[in-house]
Amino acid sequence: MALQKKKNILRDVNTIWISLNVLVQRLCSMYQSIVGVMYEHYFSVDKYQDILFRLTNIETLLTLIGNIHMLDKPNFLMKMSQSFKMYIVEYTM
């Protein structure tokens, strides 16, 4: 039997869920501006070339846009599970 070291909580903080849904929606709404900035700094920063390639890849765009609606369900589930008043019946719905 292995002995486990007891972990102490350093301080009490609120845990938040960072949703990918908001990130993808914001990226889609600001897509033209982001690509424009990447083109402006294309030669000055090496990382921008890679980011621009990924942003203009049609498969990446279709995947992001196609997943927007699928990201709503996990976001709702995480918010619901972090609720203080949670009942098992709500998970089944």
Question: Where are the chain's structural domains?
Answer: 20-92
Evaluate if pTM is beyond 0.75.
no
Distance CA 34, CA 70 (A): 24
- Taking the chain (93 residues) in consecutive chunks of 10 residues, what is each chunk's mean pLDDT? 62 67 84 87 81 88 82 73 63 59
pLDDT at 1: 47
Taking residue 38's Cβ as centre, other Cβ atoms within 10 Å add up to 20
